[in-house]
Amino acid sequence: MGTEIANRGYLALPSGGSGPGVVVLQEWWGLVPHIKTVTDRFAEAGFVAIAPDLYDGETTTSPDEAGRLFMALNIEQTARKLEETLQYLQEHPAVTGDRLGVVGFCMGGQLALLAATLSQRVGAVVDFYGIHPNVQPDFSKLRAPVLGIFGENDGFVTPEAVRSLEAAIQQAGGSIETHTYTGADHAFFNDTRPEVYQPDAAADAWDKTLSFLRRELATA
């Protein structure tokens, strides 16, 4: 189990005492138990993982309230928080290597892309169906490879949107590998939402995420 770090978020350490660093970025619900559980899972897999609290303590289970928080997010302040989190994690004594991973879900997926354009500390990005209309990363500054995870039936991030993302990153000289799961909806990885959770797709996406991060951060 991880611990709450004042003004930082939720930090989880691997049982081995050290490992590569990974930042975990929340969905539009806030830093809810699901994201803390995912952070713990990264620690169990050998990573030093931290989930920053991008809503400063606010969480919700209401889609309407989540939408309000999502649209009210101050992108400039959030960008600073992302950079501060990356610096904090890189300087943490348990973190090995000089490059970090960033993994985000929904809103957090788009912010993971943004984080990688803000800091050269980022060595790998995993974008789970990322979306935010006010977050427009400058992909000319993207140096880290991207793994994109999407659902075929996602009404927010459609297959066309995925192709556009691939094109934008590749045209800017970046690297992206995507996987779109047949029959999966938006947020199919979230096992606290039975109406959209797809266990087989979620398990495969998790395996791909761990393999990608281990490969890209191994030489850091």
> What is the architecture, at CATH level 2, of domain 3-218?
3-Layer(aba) Sandwich (3.40)
Specify the higher pLDDT residue, 112 or 1.
112
For residues 89-104, average pLDDT: 96
For residues 191-201, average pLDDT: 97
Lay out the sheet containing 146-151: strands in order across.
Answer: 3-5, 9-12, 48-52, 21-25, 100-105, 122-128, 146-151, 176-181
Strand partners, 10: 4, 51
Residue 219 above 60 pLDDT? Answer: no
Question: What pTM does this model have?
Answer: 0.96
For residues 107-113, average pLDDT: 98
Specify the higher pLDDT residue, 71 or 6.
71
pLDDT in tens, 123-172: 999 999 999 999 999 999 999 999 999 999 999 999 999 999 999 999 99
For residue 169, the model assigns a pLDDT of 98
pLDDT in tens, 165-194: 999 999 999 999 999 999 999 999 999 999
Q: How confident is the model at residue 220 (pLDDT cuts 50, 70, 90)?
A: very low
Distance, in Å, from the CA atom of 213 to the CA atom of 195, rounded to the nearest integer, reads 29
Domain map (residue ranges) of the chain? 3-218
**Residue 38 CB-half CA count within 13 A:** 29
pLDDT in tens, 30-69: 999 999 999 999 999 999 999 999 999 999 999 999 999 9
